[in-house]
Amino acid sequence: MSDHVLSLNHVDIYQQENLILKDVNLSIKKGEFVYLIGKTGSGKSSLMKTLYGDIPLKKGEGTIVEHNLSTLKERDIPYLRRKLGVVFQDFKLLTDRTIKDNLKFVLKATGWKKKAEMEEKIDQVLDKVGMKTTGFKYPHELSGGEQQRIAIARALLNDPELIIADEPTGNLDPQTSVEIMEVLQQINKNGNTILMATHDYALLLKYPSKTLKCDGGEVFEVVQKTL
Ligand SMILES: Nc1ncnc2c1ncn2[C@@H]1O[C@H](COP(=O)(O)OP(=O)(O)OP(=O)(O)O)[C@@H](O)[C@H]1O
């Protein structure tokens, strides 16, 4: 079996009819932590949306967690998403229910049935993000950083083969961003593969790792000193 969780070969990324990124070639191996950088509008979100099936792949070859993106059907998307953990800038928690119920909602939607197993899994992911005692709270009772920790816990529920984080620190102050980064680093050390879009250069310098850049309609790898 391949040790790659993602590979794109000669892929073009579109928004509607507009070509956003041309001839994208990249791969991510199991266990890697990869940054995706680039200025606003350079195509980071478009690339990520293509990876989780929100934008269809029209040209080129793409494989992600054993799914072929070129032949991906609407009905395959829930199965693809189950193997991915997606984290957004704006957390996207359900505001009308507690943290535990947010997590339970995802488990039920992805086929979990046994109450005790769900409880155990929820405790486990909350523990991983340092939020074990907050399960009974509502999202609005938590700070932005705490809400993002919960969103990361939610992404971990189905033991994803790849975590896709689109600007996870974009709404957070610098100190809280570092705390969220520490959580992501810890998760990566425990074996999770992570692709993270950011334009926070301070984080890149503090936590150097493989970096891909979107610029001028292309994606290429950069080394730290030429960022
Ligand atoms: N739904 C859409 N329909 C058409 N064009 C879009 C859509 N969303 C984004 N675009 C365009 O696609 C290009 C890339 O946007 P994208 O959101 O991928 O960039 P980004 O690098 O993620 O930016 P940011 O850092 O601001 O999130 C931009 O020119 C944008 O205007």
Q: Which residue has the tokens 């029209």?
A: 58
Q: Which residue has the tokens 């934008």?
A: 55
42 lines ligand 1 (CB under 6 A): yes
Closest CA to 108 of 74, 77, 75, 82: 82
Res 227: pLDDT? 54
Residue in 42, 48, 169, 212 to alter for ligand 1 test, most ligand atoms within 8 A of Cβ? 42
The pLDDT tens digits of the residues spanning 75-87 come to 999 999 999 999 9
| pTM as predicted | 0.94
HSE-up of residue 170 (Cα within 13 Å, Cβ side): 17
Res 225: pLDDT? 65
The pLDDT tens digits of the residues spanning 162-202 come to 999 999 999 999 999 999 999 999 999 999 999 999 989 99
213 lines ligand 1 (CB under 6 A): no
Angle between helices 174-189 and 144-156 (to 10 degrees): 20
CA distance 109 to 54: 19
DSSP for residue 114? -
Domains, the chain, ranges and CATH?
33-58+72-226 (3.40.50.300)
Strand partners, 85: 163
195-217 burial: b if 16+ Cβ within 10 Å, else e? bbbbbbeebbeebeeebbbbeee
17 lines ligand 1 (CB under 6 A): no
Ranges of the chain with pLDDT below 70? 1, 225-227
CA distance 54 to 223: 30
